[in-house]
Amino acid sequence: MRTNIVITGASSGLGAGMARRFAAAGRNLALCARRTERLDALAEELTSQHPGIRVITRELDVNDHDRVFQVFEEFRAELGTLDRVIVNAGLGKGARIGTGHFEANKQTAETNYIAALAQCEAAMGIFREQNAGHLVVVSSFASLRGMPKQMTTYASSKAAALALAEGIRADTLRTPIKVSSVLPGYIESEMTGQKEGGTPLLAGAEVGVQEMVKAIEKERAKAFVPAWPWKPLSLLVRLLPAKMLRKLA
């Protein structure tokens, strides 16, 4: 029986990259995002390259919380079960606090945490009924510390998402439901707005996605991706004084 995987924010970037990896591994996919034309093109690509799998799509703005619950239930009805839900949709824009950009910071906070909460609620409701499932929350390396400059709201929202995932995991220990937190470092994507080589720590999209999928398939509780250099750096960043944190943002 094939694994059925939901990926939110799947129309581009890391979401689309994960979809390609999982499709190559023979997984059925339920993909959702706001940009349906990209989703449909991706679904056509995947089913053409891997004719044995099913790929279904839905339009979804994760900030429409009622729609999140509706879409997840539609996916379950069409596929029969949901084996894994990857809470991937997120927003990276922001500005220094107090510089007149509250709306941008508010949108980032709502998308990265409140919308993630809605996705977790919808997924966990289904998993509890099934008594099985794997919830994956994509957080960020930036969640480890409060970050300065334009990163402040983004980092705090990803820290909230990380705490949410860890709390759900603690609540479901010794059950068939698994919960994973994935903390990407700098990986080339539309959100980073950078090319590989633009910073010494920026990983190429292919390498980053490969590491993400590997960690997810192993159902690790918490994974820094790519593991090098982000896992050892995670120990260092917690000890850095605030004046050195400014150089990371």
Q: Give pLDDT tens digits for 174-185.
A: 999 999 999 998
Catalytic: which of 22, 72, 113, 154? 154
Tell me the per-residue pLDDT of 57-105, one tens digit each, with 9 for 90 and over.
999 999 999 999 999 999 999 999 999 999 999 998 899 999 999 999 9
Residues 216 and 180 sit within 8 Å (Cβ to Cβ): yes
Q: What does pTM read for this prediction? A: 0.91
Q: Are strands 222-225 and 177-184 parallel, antiparallel or unpaired?
A: parallel
Element containing residue 58 per DSSP (H, E): strand 55-59
**Is 50 exceeded by the pLDDT of residue 194?**
no
The CA distance from 155 to 229, in Å, is: 19
The CA distance from 25 to 20, in Å, is: 9
- For residues 130-146, one letter each, b for 16 or more C-beta atoms within 10 angstroms of the residue's C-beta and e for the rest, the string is eeebbbbbbbbbbbbbe
Element containing residue 74 per DSSP (H, E): helix 65-79
The CA distance from 100 to 80, in Å, is: 48
**Is 70 exceeded by the pLDDT of residue 135?**
yes
Residues 73 and 115 sit within 8 Å (Cβ to Cβ): no
Average pLDDT over residues 15-30: 97
* Residue 41 to residues 47, 178, 228, Cα–Cα distance (Å): 10, 31, 33
More confident residue, 43 or 145: 43
pLDDT band of 189, cuts 50, 70, 90:
low
Four-CA torsion 181, 185, 186, 192, nearest 10 degrees: 30
DSSP SS3 for 14: helix
Sheet holding 84-87, edge to edge: 55-59, 28-33, 4-8, 84-87, 133-138, 177-184, 222-225
pLDDT band of 148, cuts 50, 70, 90:
confident
218: which DSSP letter? T
All domains of the chain in start order, with CATH: 4-245 (3.40.50.720)
Q: Give the DSSP letter string of 84-108.
A: EEEE---------TTSS-HHHHHHH
First to last CA, the chain: 45
Residues 122 and 89 sit within 8 Å (Cβ to Cβ): no
The answer to whether 154 is a known catalytic residue is yes
